[in-house]
Every structure is written in C-alpha cells, then in structure tokens.
Amino acid sequence: MDKNTQKSQSPQKIHPYWGFFSTILLVLFLNSLIFPGVFTPSIVKTDYGTFIAKVDSGLVSKVTLENGQIYYTTAKPDEKGKNIVYQTGEMGDASLTAKLLSAQSPNKSGKIQLNRIVPEKNSPIIDFFLMWIVPGLIFYFIWISLQKRMSKMGGNFLSLGNSGAKIYAESEVKTTFADVAGQNEAKETLQEIVDFLHNPSKYTQMGATLPKGALLVGPPGTGKTLIARAVAGEAKVPFFSISGSEFVQMFVGMGAAKVRDLFKQATAKAPCIIFIDEIDAIGKSRDNAMGGNDEREQTLNQLLTEMDGFDGKKGVVILAATNRPESLDKALLRPGRFDRRIPMGLPDLEDRKAILNVHLKKIKHGDIDLDIVARATAGSSGADLANIVNEAALRAVRLSESQVSTSDLEESVEVVMAGAQKKGAVISKEEKKIIAYHEIGHAMVAARQNNSAPVHKITIIPRTSGALGYTMQIDTGEQYLMNKQELLNKIATLTGGRAAEELICHTVTTGASNDIEQATKLARAMVTRYGMSDKYDMMELETINNAYLGGDASLTCSAATASDIDQEVLRIIRAAHEKARNIINNNLDEMHKAAQFLLNKETISGEEFMNIIGTKKEA
C-alpha cells in the first residue's frame, strides 16, 4: 500500500448479539438475588377462613410462616402428583400457634410440620452493590455495545476528532482532464493550479502565491466533482473529499472539530487538494433575521479561520462546489479564501458532442450522427448525456442489436425527456383524432413562421411522463440569444395546439395544460425580466433566486403594477393565440392531410411533414 494512503482503524469485531446476551444474563443473576420467588412454582391464594377450616379438618400437613404470610400444603396432591402450596395472610391470631401445635395432621407423626422463616438482612455493602454498582454496570455495557455497533455501521457518533473525509492517495486518483469533456474554460483556469503544484518554485520566484481556494458553481450534473478529481489526478497529489453535510453535527462544536482535523491531516499530506462538495450546507450567509444556528455558524467560523491560517506556499488547495453561490457568506467569498470563482455551465453544441464521444467510447456503437443527437439535447447537462448514452445501450440490448445506432440514441433522448412509450395505452378514435390535430397544429404554426426552429418529429404515441403526444423542434445550430420576434413566434407555436382543437375539433381539452404553462412563463419573462414590453420598457419587475436550481421568481413591484403585468402578459398570449388561429385557418387542407397521415403512422418525421404541407411562410 502507498505510504500516503491513510489506513482507517476499524473497530474490533464483536458478536452482534453480545450486548443482548450479556444483558439477559445480568438480569437473570439479579433476579436470583433480589427476587428469588419469581422462578418458584405458582402458588394458590386462599382466604384465612379456608386455611383454619382445613386445619380443623386435619387436612393440613405443613405450615410455613414468612414475612406475615402463611404458606401451607395439604395431603391431596395435584394431577401431576405434586403437593399444592396455598398462601394466605396472617390475621394477628395469638392462638394460631397453639392451634397448629395441637391440631391433627395426615402426616405419619399426626402433627403439622410448623416452621417460621426469619429473613436475613443484607449488609450495607451488598445493598450498595445491588442498588448502584450493578445497574451502573448494566447501563455501561449497553452503552459500549451500542456505540460499537454504530461505529461498525459507519456512524460518527461521538467522533469528535475525526473529519470523516475520504482520503485518496495520488496513485488512487485515475481521473484526468482527458476524462472531462467540454468545460474548456474551467480546465484552463484549473490547469494553473496543477502547474503550481508541480512547479511551485516557478511561481514563488516571482513572489506569487497559490490561490487558496477555487469555488466551482453551476447547475447539477455539469461535472463539478469530476473536474475536482481530475485536478488531483493531473497534479498527482493526495485528494481529500468530503461533503458539506458531513460537518453538520448534533452537538455544538463537533463540526468545528471536524474542520480542524481535516486541515491538520491536509497540512501533514501537503501538497494536496481538499474538495468540499455542497459547501452551502455549512457556508450559508450568517443572517440573524431568520434566527441563527450555533453549530453551523461555529463550523463556518472555524473554516474561515483555518483558511486564513495555513500557508498557501505549502500547496494545500481547497476546491468547493455549490449550486447556490448567492447563499454563501460574503466572508467565505472574499479574496484570500476562495480567490477564484469558476462557472461550470451547461455544455454548448460542441461540448455536447465531446461529452457524447467520451461516453460512447465505453459502449459498442456504429456510425453515430452526433450532430443530430447533440442538437436534440440542447439544455442537457453532462450527467443527462451520460444517462442518454446508457439508455441507448440498454435499448440496443433489449432489441438484441449488436451495437448502438443513431436511432437508439434518438429514442433514448425522448425516453429521458418525455418517458418511455406507453404501448398498452388504449385511446379512443375520437381522442386520438383530437391529439393528432393538436400536434399538427403546433407543427403547422411553427412551419409557417419565420425565425422558428424546424420541426424534427411529430408523434401521438403516449409517454409515461403523461404526454399523449408531442412535436419536437430542433434548431440547426446553437442559439445563445433570442430576439423578441422569436419569443413571440414560440408563444404562437405553443398556442397552435389549442387553436387547432378550437377550429377543427370544435372543443378544448386538458391536453393544452403544459402549453399554457410554458406560454405564460415565457410571456411573463418578456414583460418582467427581458424588457420586451412597450409599457414597462427596461424596468426590472422580477428577480430570480437559485438560478442554477431552476430559479424561483419573485416580483419586485407594487401590487398595482403586478395587476398590470398580468394584463400585459394576457395581451401577449392573446395576440399569439389569434396569430395561430389565422395560420391554421389559412392551411385547413394541409392540416387535414397531415393529421390523417399522422393517424395512420402515429409517428412522422419533420421531412415527411414538410413534404405534405410545402415550404411557404406566412409570418
């Protein structure tokens, strides 16, 4: 084993039922000392009058007086041949002893065997031992047994000095920058850290110091943890990996102790890299308005102190990842702590091709049209793309194919985005007709507008996500900006399904619920965030929180303005809806042809659709 690999001291193996058996034995021992009557045969209780009557009748053979109780047996045994023991209480009868001595008995001697048991008192030492020492030992053994069981299960109960970080020696980290496709800007920024760890003298001669920390920010699945491991793999230094939630403890001070231990170990292994995933678990802003958390704040204060305390020239680099950089404490982000902020955004078209290539190397595949797959996955993260490739491999196995094809990848894109096909769903002819016209309505409005993404596929096969059908549009290239006309066209396309239902099927259905949601969000964003409303010009009316986690919108205007915003949003959607109606009215013949073709095949390509309706544009 490499000398830099830290060996964890595992607890001694203990039989899993040791604590249980030891407790049972102790309880039995105490019962035999303190409660000897518990394990004696059952005793039949009788009244005092019955006892005297049996004595007078000469049926009683033996009497024992003990602690104010009378135990007696008769000559008549039970069904198993054993004598029955009866119990009654003493009544303070002064003549009882004389009566028992003179009474007749079925014994050979004709007399009752009479005994009185005087209880012996324990010494004070024995009483003290039984009352205090024995219970204390029982609880001690139970405590030790539980603690060892928890440690075997991986718990950190009372682990005050153990950081819990996973430590990888330089020989164990095999990930390099070659395994991280895309994110070229992030790799270039981190390459400087790798170079410093390899050649620190080149920088120290200039008087430069290594950045103490680099913060990786971006949406989930963009490869923040992967690129942190790649930095350690490129630099060939030990890698300390820990999650921010592991610092959060039950008792105040335990998280701070973990931070101290982590930096103590890292300093001893320098040069090395510390990676703290989800640092927002301990690095949230210390805001007293909502009440503080003493344990978390102490842990954060200790982290700030440790980052100030170590010497950057020793080669200890801290990498941290978060999806919520806006929630971090300002003191954590100042220069001298996390000096660099490295965005890890969603991959663009070329990056998606590179990521797909990396994952395709792990599976058997033929000639893949990466351009189609990459364009169909706009907005997907690296983790999404890895999942898509894996789904394609699983589909190829299900179909008994020898290798993955482009069609497998295209279907896996739809599975990840819309769910698997519901082949067993039974839809009536009337509903199927409405669904077909609904989807052709979307496609017709998109095809007849300028500055609208081409139609790639139309299907009326229901999916497990709840979609009864969908129309897929794919841009010919990567698009970073959208102008006002393109957004209005997109809203019109979203309303095309409902417009077709109204004009051709003469009804409205619940199938447009998702279209309504997306159209409303887009129109509201045009008014409140994009400054595309003539009424409000470039005024900000809404802010977005947690941008990397979907975004939570909150209005920054008065109630009166909020009401006006609703009217402005309605105006935009109503105009787009009217535009969609006009396009469908002008193309009713083509709508019927395309809908009938879709009903017959259930799934058609964008090329087949365009051959039916032609290529003329109306707006």
Rounded to whole angstroms, how far apart are CA atoms 66 and 316?
79
**pLDDT at position 159, please?**
39
Average pLDDT over residues 271-287: 86
Unique residue bearing structure tokens 């009866």: 86
Q: Are 277 and 241 in contact (CB under 8 A)?
A: yes
132-137 — which CB contacts under 8 Å span 24+ positions? 134/26, 134/30, 137/26
Other residues' Cβ atoms within 10 Å of the Cβ of residue 143: 11
Total residue count of the chain as it appears in this document? 619
| Contact assessment for residue 360 and residue 396, using Cβ atoms and an 8 Å cutoff | no
What per-residue confidence (pLDDT) applies to 25?
57
Per-residue confidence at 555, pLDDT binned at 50, 70, 90?
confident
Contact 422, 464 (CB under 8 A): yes
Lowest mean pLDDT among 246-250, 259-263, 490-494: 246-250
> Which has the minimum average pLDDT: 79-93, 148-162, 405-419, 514-528?
148-162
Residue indicated by tokens 């769903």: 425
Q: What is the mean pLDDT of residues 484-503?
A: 95
Question: What pLDDT does residue 2 have?
Answer: 43
Q: Which domains does the chain have, with CATH numbers?
A: 41-117 (3.30.720.210), 166-343 (3.40.50.300), 349-417 (1.10.8.60), 429-613 (1.20.58.760)
When pLDDT is cut at 50, 70 and 90, the band that residue 340 belongs to is confident
Q: What is the CA radius of gyration of the chain?
A: 41
How many Å apart are CA 476 and CA 176, to the nearest integer?
A: 33
341 pLDDT above the threshold of 60: yes
Compute the distance between CA of residue 518 and CA of residue 511 in angstroms, rounded to an integer.
13
Provide the pLDDT for residue 97: 80
Q: What is the pTM of this model?
A: 0.69
Residue 233 has pLDDT above 80, yes or no: yes
Which DSSP symbol is given to 533? B
pLDDT band at 292 (very low <50, low <70, confident <90, very high): low
Largest pairwise CA distance in the chain: 130
Q: Provide mean pLDDT across the span 69-73.
A: 85
Q: How far apart are CA 229 and CA 288, in angstroms?
A: 36
Tokens linked to 532: 């595309």
Higher-confidence position of 252 and 273: 273
- Please tell me what DSSP assigns to residue 495: H
Cβ atoms of 358 and 337 within 8 Å: the answer is no
Interatomic CA distance for residues 617 and 592, integer angstroms? 18
Lowest average pLDDT, out of 59-73, 122-136, 296-310, 506-520, goes to 122-136
Averaged confidence pLDDT in the chain:
82
Question: Span 116-123, mean pLDDT?
Answer: 70
Give me the pLDDT at residue 79, please.
63
Q: Are strands 83-89 and 44-45 parallel, antiparallel or unpaired?
A: parallel
What proportion of the chain, given as a percentage, has pLDDT over 70? 84
- How would residue 30 be classed by pLDDT, with cut points 50, 70 and 90? low
Question: How deeply is 356 buried, as exposed, middle or buried, from its count of CB atoms within 10 A (0-12, 13-18, 19+)?
Answer: buried
The Cα–Cα gap between 507 and 112 comes to 105
Q: How far apart are CA 496 and CA 512, in angstroms?
A: 10
Is pLDDT of 370 > 80? yes
Q: Lowest-pLDDT range, 58-62, 80-84, 98-102, 605-609?
A: 80-84
- pLDDT per residue over 182-199, tens digit each? 888 888 888 888 888 888
Which candidate, 244, 252, 258, 241, places its Cα nearest to that of 159? 258
pLDDT bucket at 507, cuts 50 / 70 / 90: very high
More confident residue, 93 or 440: 440
Highest-confidence segment of 151-165, 275-289, 406-420: 406-420
CB 325, CB 217: distance < 8 Å: yes
* Active site residues per annotation: 439
CB of 374 closer than 8 Å to CB of 476: no
From the number of C-beta atoms within 10 Å of its C-beta (0-12, 13-18, 19+), residue 542 rates as middle
Average pLDDT over residues 551-564: 87
> Are the C-beta atoms of 333 and 327 separated by less than 8 Å?
no
**Orientation angle between helical segments 588-601 and 559-585, nearest 10 degrees:** 90
162 pLDDT tier (thresholds 50, 70, 90): low
**Residue ranges in 448-558 assigned as alpha helix (H):** 484-500, 513-528
Assess contact for 240 and 272: CB atoms under 8 A: yes
Rounded Cα–Cα distance for residues 107 and 400 (Å): 94
Query: Mean of the pLDDT values across residues 236-252?
Result: 79
26: confidence class by pLDDT, cuts 50, 70, 90: low
Integer Cα distance of 522 and 489 in angstroms: 11
Average pLDDT, integer, range 437-441 = 96
Residue 448 CA to its chain's centroid (Å): 45
Q: Between residues 567 and 93, which one has the greater pLDDT?
A: 567
**What does the pLDDT average to over 284-291?**
64
Confidence of residue 459 (pLDDT cuts 50, 70, 90): very high
Tell me the average pLDDT across 220-244: 87
List of long-range contacts for 360-367, beta carbons under 8 Å, 24+ apart: 360/389, 360/404, 362/389, 363/389, 363/392, 363/393, 363/404, 364/402, 364/403, 364/404, 365/403, 365/404, 365/405, 366/403, 366/404, 366/405, 367/406
**470: nearest Cα among 438, 508, 423:** 438
Rounded to the nearest 5 percent, the helix, strand and coil shares of the chain are 50, 15, 35
Please give the pLDDT value at position 164. Answer: 58
